[in-house]
Amino acid sequence: MDALLRGQKPSEVIPFSLDAPVLYYPVRHHSPACAWHLERVIARYAPDCILVEGPENANPLIPVLTDPDTKAPVALYYAFRDEKGLLSEEGKGEQGRFRCYYPFLDHSPELVALRAAAARGSYAAFIDLSYGEILLATQAARGLRAVGEKQSYASDRYLSDNQVQRRLCEKAGLRSFEEFWEKYFESAGLFLSDEAFVRQMNAYCLLVRRHTPERALEEDGCLAREAHMAMRIRAAAGQYRRVLVVAGGFHLWGLLHPLPVPAWDEALPEGVQSVYPMRYTLPAADALSGYASGMPSPGYYADLWTALHSMDPAEAWTAVTLDYLVKTGRQLRREGETISAVDERCAFQQARGLAELREKPSPGLYELQDAVLSSFVKGEVTVSGAAPLRVLKALTTGKAVGQLCDGALRPPLVRDFDDQCRAFRLKRETASREKLTLSIFSLPRHRALSRFLHQTVFLDCGFAQRQKGPDLQRRRDRNLIRELWSYRWTIGVEAALVEHAVWGATMAEACGTELRARMSRAERAGVGAGLLVQGFLMGIGDVADEMAGQLEDLLITDGDFASLCEAFAALSTLEEWQGQYGEEGTYDYPALLDRCFGRVVQLLPAMHAVDDRGVSAVQQACMLLYQVTGREAFAHRRSALVDAFARLVGWDPIHPALHGAALGLLYGCDPAWKGEIDGTIRGYLRGTRGMMLRSAAFLQGLFYTARDLLLVDRDFLGQIDALLSELSEADFMDLLPELRLAFSYFVPMETDRIARQAAALHGARGRDLDRAAVDADAYARAEGVDAWAAARLELWEQKGADGTW
Amino acid sequence: MEHAILRPQAERRYQEELAALRVWDQGNRKPENWLLSPKAVRLFILGSSQPVDCGGQAVTIRKKYLGNDALVERCIITLAGNRGLMLVGEPGTAKTMLSELLSAAISGCSTNTVQGTAGTTEDMIKYSWNYALLLANGPSRQALVPAPLYVGMEKGILTRFEEITRTPAEVQDSLISVLSDKVLNSPELGDDGLLFARPGFNVIGTANTRDKGVNEMSSALKRRFNFETVQPVGDVALEKQIILNEVGALAAAAGITQPLDEEAAELLATTYHELREGVSAEGHRLERPAAVMSTAEAVSVYYQTMMTAWYYGDGRMDAGCLVEHLVGAVAKESDEDMGKIEGYFSTAVRDKARREGGAWTRYYEARSRLK
């Protein structure tokens, strides 16, 4: 670095004088060394105004960040809704929503500055453009508008991702920018005076800036931001005596030499952007986690920061490194690895030796990693053999979760979520997934918790996941009586809640608003009824009143039979399960089901022309209609259903599978239909060849709804048998595949019974059924062919070997 | 007159650099009996981009080990401590070279070596006897023939143990007490039989993961070593450079004056790198051959091609000949490997030939030699 410093022109060096009215302090996000020197500089400079780089629409939240009850890591969550399409191509739909995090750790210089200002009673403010304005100043797919889920305001891409840095690492024989940074700034930097440290920071940042093209700065919105910050600094300088500016080292040159970038002449509309404080986690703050925010291994540096306040820097580094070696060893022993105290001692020696070889004052993160690799990994480093490195990584990342003070401006929805988590004793401080088993039908408390978890799923928080249990939406596993859930709190949960904060103050309210909104968008009765089921599971019955009106409209306007059937199935489920879920009487689902029944029955006869693809759904619908009229409350509807089925079977042409199913159900309602069934089967089998080929489909439909017919009525079997016997062998073979399908509705025992009865009709006994599948003649013929082929092969091999073939 | 040596040992090959570094090293802290300080050892192995000032004389220290700098640092520090160093990895990843360089720099002697084989016995590691003297005078130090471990302990220098996992487990385990207590007992010598290791003694083992793995080493012995996994070179440009450096040295020793063909080195480096990784630069998924695809193998293929051109041709390397030697190097383990190489030519090489032309086209056209 010294060589670098000598290369700087004096005019480019940023002045750093404690006598100046405005003092510029360069930082890297989450750098303990920057924060450590900053604490000293603030004490020496005694500013009456501290300006910090950060979107200024978060200024009202500064008291929350500096409150003694607020525990880092915390973050500011910025959201921008581009409803007016200001960001042109992305201004539509989902893509028009932008969000980013600005995380703060205890050792973030920005948080140290804000806390110091609060402690001193100095004025403190963020000075960057608001988040929305930054987006507007940034070109598409650049800077904060870069494509990617996780956007962090505290990105270090300028400092770490450039050619200068790559060449420096290459020359210094270091593996990465982070190792370079730790060696020269975090480790050696602590032994420098404040002035020398700042000079070194400025020298590096200037070098990087000089190698960053101006165009990139413009495209990233960097120049517009710097011009705005410079304006705020000028205004503060006119008002306060001693102004301390805490900004990214990369920007200082731009703050001192702002370009005349056009100011924003158009104010952003109200309500398009919002900012909230939120709890954050150390894993999310890890630079390697994909947020690109600050330094890796935040847990390690957080401990270093604490140690720096109780011992001198060299001791602090050594103590923290030793502490992590011991913790890693202990964790490995817990996992069954044989790591002894001797291993730990060797690792510590290794770390110290490496620090000396690398000319570092004391071992740091990279010596710690190397020591663990050398001394704890026994054998080849492979995925399976690298447990020590995995454990160390987890430990140095840390797992602390922050906390916000009570009065924090947190959306009521987030507070409600927290309250409910507390009430249900759900853990929010662990990084591992927790499991819950809920007896939803027997314990009201479990049912309430299940509703809450369903609400989090509905709001797409990524908090909970139901792994097992009755699934009313898909109508599966309805025999289960317990729900098995897993859940885990992550920062994404809070982010999702903040996004939904405008929908309501409580989880139920937010879900209700969203449910109504989705219902108003629904175009199909099936979708509408599905939403009603979701509302039912979330226990927000009061919404059902409003939604039911809309659903009734959908039932009338929707002419799609499949969608109506879906709605019918959903409503039937609700009607059926209302009692079990303790919702009896909360809403008149039977009335709604009755209306839906009317619509389905009305459309049913028109379904005679359904094609092969849709027939199974119509069969299922017919079956469900029949089952529902079997319930006491709907018994009066049976006659209407019989009429509808009768009209359906009266149609010609009709899909044979539907024909069979409807006749089967009619037989279920009234055995007098048996004669009609017999006649129809005869008609199919004795009809023209085309009709004969459809007889199997008819039987399939018939057996789907009335398979008992074949089991209880021996004559029926005889009739079918006689009809099948009349077929020629060729016709029978054509029919066989579909006949097999038709008989697949019977369980093996039933198939066996039918087969024996059928065999008896032909004078065969049960055991004759077990005969070989191939007759003796065919077998003899095949054996002859086999012997002939073997002989030819042998001949070929002999001739081939002689080369005379 | 001194006879030419086919392959001079490291301390002789780099004697000027080592001598200069001893001058440069004044004032640096070094472990007892080490000829160079850890810093100078690192400089010797990793080299420096600028010539270093050795007593007023500027000496260029070449980079001898291309790869992971941090690994070299860890190795040096391990050897300064009280645990042995075990280098493990695929064959041909320069483990032996690194072990030689470390021994040459630290002890000035890289030949104090046990070559591990299935037939290695304990007396080849510790000591044996001159039976004529033994019978004449009874057990005495004069009659004792020291083996590398004994020599290392007695002189305070490094003992290298090549392919340690090839030796039977009970022979490997004879190292345990020496590594922990640093004392070797020769009961035949009675009270004079205790040999206490002098400072500077340590053991560098190498083990390749293709043969019997280190898993079969006893955990007692494992505990007495720090393990370092040497990975194959991950960068094609670096691999090409290694091929050129190594072949250059071999050619110079053999008196071949033909200039090196950089394009051929690139073809080989790319082929070996892509087949080892199982994916080409263009994204073709490739089947990995069972044969060892190490940089050392690539060097050997290149050198053979070069010699063929030198002795039978006009000295210029021919793509067809390169492919033939490649076949010779790969078709060792199984016939399936040849299919994999053909697959590589018909996908990745074909596309490179279409896109880049030149040497890749000649290489692709020589695919008919893949038999």
DSSP tag of A650? T
Going by pLDDT thresholds of 50, 70 and 90, the confidence category of residue A274 is confident
Domain ranges of chain B: 10-229, 236-370
A338 to B219: CB separation less than 8 angstroms, yes or no: yes
> Are B226 and A343 an interchain contact pair (Cβ–Cβ within 8 Å)?
no
- pLDDT at residue B4 above 80? no
Range from A329-343, A362-376, A554-568 carrying the lowest mean pLDDT: A554-568
Task: State the CB neighbour count (10 A cutoff) for residue A194.
Answer: 19
* A237-246, B88-97, B212-221: segment of lowest average pLDDT: B212-221
Q: Is the model's pLDDT at A91 over the cut of 60?
A: no
DSSP-assigned states of every residue in B222-286: HTTEEEEEEPPP--HHHHHHHHHHHHHHHHHHHT--SPP-HHHHHHHHHHHHHHHHTB-TT--B-
pLDDT at position B206 is 93
Q: How far is B39 from chain A (nearest CA, A)?
A: 6
pLDDT in tens, A629-654: 888 878 888 888 888 888 888 877 88
- Nearest-CA distance from A365 to chain B in Å? 13
Contacts B80 to A, Cβ<8 Å? 353
| pLDDT for residue A432 | 73
Q: What integer pLDDT is reported at residue B237 of this predicted model?
A: 86
Chain A residues with CB under 8 Å of B46 CB are 173
Q: Which residue of A has its CA nearest to B231?
A: A381
Mean per-residue pLDDT, A263-273 = 67
Q: How many Å from the N-terminal Cα to the C-terminal Cα in chain A?
A: 82
Q: Looking at per-residue confidence, does A646 or A89 come out higher?
A: A646
Whether pLDDT at A12 is above 60: no
DSSP 8-state assignment for residue B60? -
For A360, which DSSP code? -
Total CB pairs under 8 A between chain A and B? 73
pTM: 0.71
Contact A378 B42 (CB under 8 A): no
- Work out the pLDDT band at A766, boundaries 50, 70, 90: low
Lowest-pLDDT range of A213-217, A267-271, A337-341: A267-271
Cross-chain Cβ contact B214/A380 below 8 Å: yes
Q: How confident is the model at residue B214 (pLDDT cuts 50, 70, 90)?
A: low
Residues of B near A (CB-CB distance < 8 A)?
A: 29, 38-39, 42, 46, 49, 69-70, 73-74, 76-78, 80-83, 88-89, 209, 213-215, 219, 222-223, 226-229
B49 versus B212: the higher-pLDDT residue is B49
**Banded pLDDT at A698 (limits 50, 70, 90):** confident
pLDDT of A95 reads 47
Mean pLDDT of A56-85: 84
B144 pLDDT band, cuts 50/70/90, is very high
Q: What is the chain A residue with the closest CA to B229? A: A380
Task: Measure the CA dihedral A548/A554/A559/A563, to 10°.
Answer: -60
Q: Which chain A residues have a beta carbon less than 8 Å from that of B204?
A: none
Please state which of the ranges A294-308, A374-388, A435-449 shows the lowest mean pLDDT. Answer: A374-388
Q: Check pLDDT > 90 for residue A347.
A: yes
Question: Å from B251 to nearest chain A CA?
Answer: 30
Q: Residue A292 pLDDT > 50, yes or no? A: no
Q: Which residue spans within A395-479 are E strands per DSSP?
A: 434-438, 464-468
Q: From A386, which residue of chain B is nearest by alpha-carbon distance?
A: B229
Determine the residue among A372, A374, A377, A381 to mutate to test chain B binding: the one whose Cβ has the most chain B Cβ atoms within 10 Å: A374
pLDDT of residue A122: 92
Smallest Cβ distance to A380: which of B29, B219, B229?
A: B229
Under a CB-based contact definition with an 8 Å cutoff, are residues A64 and A408 in contact? yes
What does chain A come to in residues?
805
| Chain A: residue whose CA lies nearest to B46 | A173
Residues of B in contact with A386 (CB under 8 A): none
Residue A341 contacts B where some CB pair is shorter than 8 Å:
no
| Secondary structure class of B36 (helix, strand, coil) | coil
| A260 vs A179: which has the higher pLDDT | A179
Q: What is the mean pLDDT of residues A740-768?
A: 80
With contact defined as beta carbons under 8 Å apart, do B36 and B22 qualify?
yes
Give me the pLDDT at residue B161, please: 94
Chain B contact for A590 (CB, 8 A cutoff):
no
Look at residue A288 and tell me whether its pLDDT is greater than 50: no
Give whichever of A38-47, A88-97, A757-766, B307-316 has the largest mean pLDDT: A38-47
- For residues B6 and A122, the model is more confident at A122
Q: Nearest C-alpha of chain A: how many angstroms from B86? A: 9
* Rounded mean pLDDT, B120-138: 92
* pLDDT at position A124: 94
- Whether A264 shows a pLDDT value over 50: the answer reads yes
CB contact under 8 A, A353 and B70: no
Chain B residues with beta carbon closer than 8 angstroms to that of A171: 49
- Do A380 and B88 make contact, defined as CB atoms within 8 angstroms? yes
List the structure tokens of A246.
């805490």
| Residues B39, A357: C-beta atoms closer than 8 Å | yes
Mean pLDDT of A320-342: 91
Q: Tell me the per-residue pLDDT of A490-547, one tens digit each, with 9 for 90 and over.
A: 877 877 887 777 677 788 888 888 888 788 878 888 888 888 888 888 888 667 777 7
Q: Which residues of B touch A173 (CB under 8 A)?
A: 46, 69
Residues of A in contact with B78 (CB under 8 A): 350, 374
Statement: residue A726 has pLDDT above 70: yes
Indicate if the pLDDT at residue A609 is higher than 60.
Answer: yes
User: What average pLDDT is seen over chain B?
Assistant: 88
Q: Two tokens at A368? A: 């710690």
CA–CA distance, A160 with A152 (Å, rounded to integer): 15
User: What distance in Å separates residue B78's CA from the closest CA in chain A?
Assistant: 7
Q: A353 to chain B: which residues are within 8 Å by CB? A: 38, 77, 80-81
Residues 6+ away with beta carbon under 8 Å from A574: A472, A532, A533, A536, A589, A593
Q: What pLDDT band is residue B78 in, cutting at 50, 70 and 90?
A: very high
* Closest by Cβ to A380, choosing from B29, B209, B219: B209
- Say yes or no: A3 contacts chain B, CB-CB below 8 A: no
Cβ pair B77:A358 closer than 8 A: no
Residue in chain A closest to B83 (alpha carbons) equals A346
Tell me what the mean pLDDT of segment B249-270 comes to: 88
Which is more confidently placed, B144 or A682?
A: B144
Please tell me if residue A430 touches chain B, with a CB cutoff of 8 Å: no
DSSP for A280-324, written as a single string: -BHHHH-GGGTT-BS-S-HHHHHHHHHHHTTS-HHHHHHHHHHHH
Q: What is the pLDDT of residues A403-422, one digit of tens each?
A: 888 766 677 788 888 888 88
Would you state the pLDDT for residue A492? 76
Chain A residue with minimal CA distance to B90?
A: A380
Which residues on B lie below 8 Å from A381 (Cβ)?
227, 229
pLDDT digit string, tens, across residues A215-228: 888 888 888 888 88
Mean pLDDT of chain A: 82
CATH of domain B10-229: 3.40.50.300
Entry field: residues in chain B: 371
Chain A, 174 to 213: residues with Cβ < 8 Å from chain B are 174-175
| A369 contacts chain B (CB < 8 A) | no
Residue A150 has pLDDT above 60, yes or no: no
Average pLDDT over residues B167-186: 89
Choose, out of A179, A338, A378, A382, the residue to mutate when testing the contact with B (most B CBs < 10 Å): A378
Residue among A369, A370, A387 nearest A378 (CA):
A387
CB-based contacts of A764-770 (< 8 A; 24+ apart in sequence): none
- CB contacts of B73 in chain A (<8 Å) are 354, 357-358, 370
Give A366's contacts in chain B (Cβ within 8 Å): 70
Residue of chain B with shortest Cα separation from A377: B227
The ipTM (two decimal places) reads: 0.84
What count of other Cβ atoms lies within 10 Å of the Cβ of residue B284? 16
pLDDT of amino acid A439 = 87
Confidence of residue A805 (pLDDT cuts 50, 70, 90): very low
Q: How sure is the predictor about A759, in pLDDT bands with cuts at 50, 70 and 90? A: confident
Secondary structure percentages of chain B, helix, strand, coil, to 5: 50, 15, 35
Instruction: Please state the domain extents for chain A.
Output: 22-154+183-278, 303-397, 412-503, 507-768, 775-805
Question: Collapsing DSSP states into helix, strand and coil, what is residue A276?
Answer: strand
> Using the beta-carbon criterion (under 8 Å), do B223 and A357 form an inter-chain contact?
no
Indicate if the pLDDT at residue B1 is higher than 60: no
Contact A353 B49 (CB under 8 A): no
Once rounded to an integer, what is the mean pLDDT over residues B281-288?
Answer: 80
Q: Is the pLDDT of residue A74 over 70?
A: yes
pLDDT tens readout for residues A533-553: 888 888 886 677 777 778 888
Q: Which residue of B has its CA nearest to A366?
A: B70
User: A350, B74: Cβ pair inside 8 Å?
Assistant: yes
Report pLDDT for A366: 94
- A349 near B CB under 8 A: yes
